[in-house]
Amino acid sequence: MKVLIADAVDQRVETLFTQAGIQCDYKAGIKKDELLLIIGNYDGLVVRSSTQVTTEVIEKASKLRIVGRAGAGVDNIDVKACTKKGILVMNTPGGNTISTAEHTCALLLSVARWTPTSFVDIKAGKWERKKWTGTELDSKVLGIVGLGKIGKEVAKRMQAFNMKTVGYDPFLSKEAANEVGIELMSVEEIFKKSDFITFHTPLSAETKYLFNTNSLALVKKGVKIVNCARGGIVQEQAILEGLQTGVVGGYAADVTEVEPPTFQEAILKEERVIITPHLGASTEEAQEKVAIQIAEQMIDAFKEKDVKGAVNGVALQFAFDPESKPFVELAENLGLILGQLEKSSFNKIELTYGGKGPNKYAEILLNSALKGIFNNKTNEPVNYINARYFAEEQGVNFSESKQQLAVRGYTNSLTIKVEFGSGKSSSVVGSVFNDTEGRLVQLNDYDMEIKFDGDFLLYENEDRPGMLAQVGGILAENQVNIGSLVLGRKKETKKALTVLTVDSGLSQDILAKINLVKGVISSTYIRMN
């Protein structure tokens, strides 16, 4: 058995593999052409963020069984291609938690007291005490957007400075937040009440420019902002405008919208901006921790002891099995829909299995549904293996029950009911047709049959003529093509739910226009890809 180390990691990793009887070649910084030539000789591959494990690499990896990422993100690994080929992908999501949390705290202190910027003046021969008057952290409000492991660790440390910590996370329950001394509130409320704001969310379509020029009208004058998550969560143009008007008192970040920057960016020329070169995980301890952790995980997997840290482990067992795959996909698709119906947290999730298939695969179906529900809502990868643990960590209660017969006369059914932190609740019912194709057959009280063959626009409206024409007109004006249409009706309430499959994404502006149509009660864009 043979492992290739393609990026620079702590060299004790070699010793661990060798002691386990696994041959190890250390080729940090290997070029793509050489990697393509030799990858076919290896059973394991260890990378950090530099080496790109693309489809091309995977196709050449005839013997590869495991790709290990010494760190959390797997953006540089084609996980889907690995899964299809039966290659296990592993990561170490908790290895740099403390390192990134401490760096966030360092930037909070820096932007409060201007330590790095005032030192630049000192080196230039300037002594300007009044120019760099700082702000005490004592009794100030720290808003934390994103309360995963890193966000919670930041809160814990800044509470020691007697800061009041408030936060937002779409999946953390109020009770779980209270346990760590954080008051939950909306992002808008955080913007209004915070003296300091720090971001710890993944970068997605929902979080792109989460802080933008419109946010400037909400925040306290002089607010100081920190971003150690991903470039693009904070709009740099908004920071520039805020600094010029005095609305923003300072900005500190470990990330930029373009990395590495061109160094011509206007944000880098501002005195009250502190930027570090993505150093969140760059401590000796963190790099040592994630390197040793990935080696130990890979050794356990090679010896078939454990698959801790696997991103796609259960997928190898279930997702491509002809019998279980349709049920696994159905559960995840139903979860994807529920996860986008409300932005608030989840208090309770209930799954009910009906019929032979769902009962047989119940163990994986809960994980699959949770994976869909929490999809792309956290910095921490949520997969088939860690989905239950993640839900428990967020304070979400979940339960399962089995029924011999499926609902409404189907041969099989999967029902998921959720109770949101807002007090609202929703439910979906799905079924697998002909043992191959999953469909949504009920959304709340609306009966309908919907194939999962694209993104959806859901809108509830008054059941009267002309509604579809008006909404369709808005979509046409914005060059959005409709793939299919399904309609559910409630005659007793004179309401209808229209589900349109759309060929392209819908912006918030398009949804806003739809919501302004007289008779439209609400609209939601559901991303299924």
- Tell me how far CA of residue 364 lies from CA of 319, 376, 387, 401, 479, in angstroms: 10, 20, 10, 14, 39
CA–centroid distance for 135 within its chain: 33
Contact 250, 111 (CB under 8 A): yes
Confidence of residue 315 (pLDDT cuts 50, 70, 90): low
Using CB atoms within 10 A of its CB, is residue 322 exposed (0-12), middle (13-18) or buried (19+)? Answer: exposed
What domains lie within the chain, and their CATH numbers?
2-92+285-311 (3.40.50.720), 97-275 (3.40.50.720), 313-451 (3.30.1330.90), 453-529 (3.30.70.260)
> Does 316 score more than 80 pLDDT?
no
Exposure b/e, 330-360, CB count within 10 A at least 16 = b: bbbbbbbbbbbbbebbbbebbbbbbbebbee
Pairwise CA distance, residues 414 & 334, whole Å: 9
Over range 416-426, report the average pLDDT: 91
The helix (H) or strand (E) run that includes residue 336 is: helix 325-341
* pLDDT over threshold 70, residue 407: yes
Count of CB atoms situated within 10 Å of the CB of 307: 19
Name the residue with higher pLDDT: 507 or 158: 158
In terms of Cα–Cα distance, which of 237, 410, 296, 242 is closest to 13?
296
Helix (H) or strand (E) holding 236: helix 236-245
CA atoms of 131 and 243, how far apart (whole Å): 15
Interval 448-473: pLDDT, tens: 999 998 899 999 999 999 999 999 99
Q: What is the predicted pLDDT for the residue at 16?
A: 96
> Does residue 321 carry a pLDDT above 80?
no
As a whole number, mean pLDDT of residues 415-440 equals: 93
Query: Helices marked H in 12-160 — which ranges?
Result: 12-19, 32-38, 55-60, 79-84, 97-113, 115-123, 149-159
Pick from 240, 171, 253: nearest CA to 212: 240
> How confident is the model at residue 419, as a pLDDT?
92
Residue 6: pLDDT band (50, 70, 90) is very high
What is the phi-psi region of residue 409: left when phi exceeds 0, alpha when psi lies from -120 to 50, beta otherwise? left
Which pLDDT tens digit goes with each residue over 247-301? 999 999 999 999 899 999 999 999 999 999 999 988 988 888 999 999 999 999 9
Taking the C-alpha atoms of residue 246 and residue 248, their distance in angstroms, rounded to an integer, is: 5
User: What DSSP assignment string belongs to 249-289?
Assistant: EEEEES--SSSS--S--GGGG-TTEEE-SS-TT-SHHHHHH
Q: What is the mean pLDDT of residues 193-201?
A: 97
Distance, in Å, from the CA atom of 182 to the CA atom of 176, rounded to the nearest integer, reads 9
Sheet of strand 23-26: strand arrangement: 23-26, 2-5, 44-47, 66-69, 88-91
**Residue burial 221-231, b: 16+ Cβ < 10 Å; e: rest:** eebbbbbbbbb
Query: What integer is the mean pLDDT of 223-239?
Result: 96
Torsion of Cα atoms, 400 then 402 then 406 then 407, to 10°: -50
What are the tens digits of pLDDT across the range 355-406?
999 998 888 899 899 999 988 677 666 777 778 878 888 888 999 999 999 9
pLDDT at 317 over 70: no
Here the tokens at position 191 are 């913007």
pLDDT score for 320: 67
Longest dimension (CA), the chain: 82
Helix or strand (DSSP H, E) at 192: helix 187-193
Catalytic residues: 230, 259, 278
Q: Is the pLDDT of residue 72 over 90?
A: no
396 contacts 173 by C-beta, under 8 angstroms: yes
pLDDT band, residue 238 (cuts 50/70/90)? very high
Q: Look at residue 440 and give its three-state secondary structure.
A: strand
Q: Is the pLDDT of residue 41 over 70?
A: yes
Element (DSSP H or E) covering residue 291? helix 284-302
- DSSP for 34-74, written as a single string: HHHHHGGG-SEEEE-SSS-B-HHHHHH-SS--EEEESSS--
Judge if the upstream peptide bond of residue 326 is cis by omega within 30 degrees of 0: no
Whether the Cβ atoms of residue 44 and residue 64 lie closer than 8 Å to each other: yes
Contact partners, residue 375, CB within 8 Å, separation at least 6: 332, 335, 336, 339, 382
